[in-house]
Chains A and B, each alone.
Chain A
């Protein structure tokens, strides 16, 4: 679909807001915040809304994987704006929009999934080649890299996961998300807008249990 698309990318400390209209980037602003984008997101959002006037047709939020809190800030802002403006809101996986000169036809996105796990997934013609992003240990991660050496590797992390070589850290791009949304059919947009909008969760919540020793001491 063409028309006016507002995109928010907040899954990493490097955030971006972009406005895409009829094939042209009308507005793009990057911002950086270590704690949360809640305080820095609204100035660029306000500027982007000024640029688009009343012509907004779609809002897209990057859903990570990345900082769950960061992604949820983007989603909450997108939901509020979408509701007020009466336009659909969709989520797109941030791995589909790395900020590179030209997004290759095939590439691998990888990252640190915490607690000794990593993710790596191949992306082909703008889509993940698997339904769910797979998590793997360090050895499997190395094997996956060995098996997919022929394509470029990127990460949205600040540094290469597990210190492996040949992985280029990149920013996720709101411009890229908007461009990708512009390529979706109206049916696809409607389908995505009807789906629950939440971050790409790589794992279930980590819930700490009480220390059994301390529990015993208490009783």
Chain B
């Protein structure tokens, strides 16, 4: 390891079906980010099967960790703290990454940091891009309005600083990504459906079908996607999905309805909370139209937009390591007695 390099953290992420490990310096530079995806395994079931996920995590966890260390060009004694996702997520999956990180911390006599998966997403728009110059310590996270939008979560947070988060609004039913996946399933599209809808929507008409936008009254920052999902379901008997154009139109119109709600509420929430920066993270932030609409609306509103790089939008350990770096810099560490929490909250 280079003598001039700042200290590093190793983080493990096993909250769902990805086994991931990453080494990040205390300057916030990602030295490695390894992800062993189980997507092909779970495709056969149309969704993640917790016991299957857990069986796979235990098989590859150490291998993925060693690969992350090797790619980063560091050895265990170079690691100044170990971190792992401690929730929310699937308990039988969380336990594997958390236990291994704790064992490493114990053996190496270094601190352990239990990190909230959502905090990983929340701070990820501020991760440096590969090759971006890094200082001695990671740049502070500025106050901003954050939208976390994924298959498991849709929430707006007012971020005052690291660890200072206020919930502004969240979904009352499905997460946006979940709505994407469920509608894709109704349309007979392959799992995972979100990227497939995104792909097809590029060839469809966004105004072909009038789908509802829920809870759009001023000052309401809650989300609901179940009505939209039902509207798609009611449309199905009336249309011919074997027609490529029709399928693409449904995808484009559905996607536009979801994105319009997300963008509008986020920009309004930023204005109401006096925030000049918006951060968008989570798997759905990979969606092309979502990125396009946020870019347009933020430019118009004079708001700085920080989008998580697509590599770090879906579950990965680099975002956990990045969050751990920021927590580590505040002196935070967790006792080895801490357990995982499948329902871990980001606020109080």
Which A residues fall within an 8 A CB radius of B? Answer: 35-36, 38-43, 45-46, 49, 68-69, 72-73, 75-81, 83-85, 196-199, 201, 205-207, 218
Contacts and interface: CB of A to CB of B under 8 A. Distances in A.
Contact of B99 (A49, A80, A83): A80
11 contacts: A38-B102, A43-B336, A72-B99, A73-B96, A76-B61, A76-B103, A79-B100, A80-B101, A80-B104, A83-B76, A196-B59
B52 A205 contact: yes
A72 B337 contact: no
A197 B58 CA distance: 8
Given A46-B106, A72-B95, A72-B96, A207 B101 contact: no
A23 B2 CA distance: 44
Contacts of B340: 36, 38
A46 B55 CA distance: 27
A199 B58 CA distance: 9
Given A42-B103, A205-B52, A218-B233, 11 more contacts: A36-B91, A36-B95, A43-B337, A68-B92, A72-B54, A76-B100, A79-B62, A80-B100, A81-B106, A83-B62, A84-B107
Given A36-B95, A77-B103, A207 B45 contact: yes
A69 B62 CA distance: 17
Nearest to A89: B62
A83 B54 contact: no
Given A84-B76, A84-B107, A201-B55, A76 B45 contact: no
Contacts of B304: none
A38 B95 contact: yes
B296 interface: no
Given A196-B59, A205-B51, A73 B107 contact: no
A146 B52 CA distance: 36
Given A83-B65, A84-B76, A201-B55, A40 B103 contact: no
Nearest to A201: B55
Interface of B: 45, 49, 51-52, 54-55, 57-59, 61-62, 65-66, 76, 91-92, 95-104, 106-108, 233, 336-340
Given A68-B54, A207-B49, A39 B59 contact: no
Given A68-B92, A76-B99, A39 B338 contact: yes
Nearest to B56: A198
A182 to B, nearest CB: 22
A84 B336 contact: no
A72 B58 contact: yes
Contacts of B99: 38, 41, 72-73, 76-77, 80
Contacts of B62: 79-80, 83
Contacts of A85: 107
B103 A45 contact: yes
B107 A81 contact: yes
Contacts of B233: 218
B104 A40 contact: no
B171 to A, nearest CB: 20
B59 A198 contact: yes
Given A49-B106, A198-B59, A207-B49, A76 B95 contact: yes
Query: Sorted from nearest, which 7 A-B pairs have the closest CB atoms?
Result: A80-B103, A84-B107, A42-B336, A76-B99, A205-B51, A39-B339, A80-B100
A83 B66 CA distance: 9
A38 B98 contact: yes
A69 B45 CA distance: 21
Contacts of A75: 58
Given A43-B336, A79-B61, A84 B104 contact: yes
Contacts of A68: 51, 54-55, 92
Nearest to B339: A39
B179 to A, nearest CB: 15
Given A68-B51, A80-B101, A39 B96 contact: no
Contact of B49 (A40, A43, A197, A205): A205
B82 to A, nearest CB: 9
Nearest to A39: B339
Contacts of B337: 39-40, 42-43
Which of B57, B102, B103 has the largest count of A CB atoms less than 10 A from its CB? B103
Contacts of A45: 103, 106
A151 B204 CA distance: 73
B217 to A, nearest CB: 30
A198 B55 contact: yes
A35 B58 contact: no
A57 to B, nearest CB: 15
Contacts of A80: 62, 99-104, 106-107
A84 B98 contact: no
Nearest to B112: A42
Contacts of B339: 35-36, 38-39
A68 B91 CA distance: 12
A77 B99 CA distance: 6
Which of B61, B98, B100, B340 has the largest count of A CB atoms less than 10 A from its CB? B100
Nearest to B103: A80
Given A73-B95, A76-B96, A84 B55 contact: no
A45 B338 CA distance: 15
